[in-house]
């Protein structure tokens, strides 16, 4: 399996420096984010994707829709690709980041998940699609943490 793991384009939360970890609260791409997705779509235009996955978040779905424009690929929404659940939706990003610094891998709020827990659910996603689609060329649009992690 070959997977292209893509982070969504710039979103309203990115420029507003606030947390959006609730997919039912729509936060969309900015004009810059749409332009980023358009540029990536041009770069990936020759890729022959066989499967497409995306998180539940509108900004990720908007990015994937731009990437797949003109293609007839069924999009599968998978919550395992979701943003890290911080338990601090709507709060400034720096408030969460200041707390995470104390224990970056294991910190979590009572309503949130740790970085390790998020990576475990992403690993489950990757293992699952590798098993189901061993010869596939997959595109998956997610969020920052899965892109930063080096998967082996």
Rg (CA), the chain: 15
Q: What is the pLDDT of residue 148?
A: 77
Active-site position among 8, 10, 51, 113: 8
Report in angstroms the alpha-carbon separations of 21 from 56, 90, 142: 10, 8, 12
pLDDT digits (tens, 9 = 90+) for 36-90: 999 999 999 999 999 999 999 999 999 999 999 999 999 999 999 999 999 999 9
Report in angstroms the alpha-carbon separations of 60 from 26, 57, 148: 11, 6, 16
Q: What is the mean pLDDT of residues 113-132?
A: 96
Pairing of strands 2-7, 137-142: parallel
Q: CA dihedral in degrees (131, 133, 135, 136; nearest 10)?
A: -140
Q: Is 73 exposed, middle or buried (0-12, 13-18, 19+ CB in 10 A)?
A: middle
28 catalytic residue (yes or no): no
Active-site position among 10, 62, 83, 113: 83
Answer yes or no: is pLDDT of 151 > 60.
no
Answer yes or no: is pLDDT of 150 > 80.
no
Q: What is the pTM of this model?
A: 0.94
State CA 2 to chain mean position distance. Answer: 17
8 catalytic residue (yes or no): yes
Q: What is the mean pLDDT of residues 121-127?
A: 95
């Amino acid at each position: 399996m070959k997977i292209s793991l893509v982070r969504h384009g710039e979103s309203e939360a990115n420029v507003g420096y606030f947390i959006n970890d609730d997919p039912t609260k729509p936060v969309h791409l900015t004009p810059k984010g749409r332009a980023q997705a358009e540029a990536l779509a041009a770069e990936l235009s020759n890729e022959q994707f066989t499967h497409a996955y995306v998180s539940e978040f509108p900004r990720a779905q908007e990015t994937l829709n731009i990437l797949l424009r003109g293609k007839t690929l069924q999009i599968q929404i998978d919550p395992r690709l979701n943003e890290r659940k911080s338990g601090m939706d709507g709060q400034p990003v720096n408030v969460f980041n200041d707390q995470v610094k104390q224990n970056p891998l294991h910190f979590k709020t009572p309503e949130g998940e740790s970085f390790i827990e998020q990576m475990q659910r992403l690993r489950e996603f990757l293992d699952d699609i590798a098993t189901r689609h061993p010869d596939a060329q997959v595109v998956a649009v997610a969020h920052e943490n899965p892109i930063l992690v080096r998967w082996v």
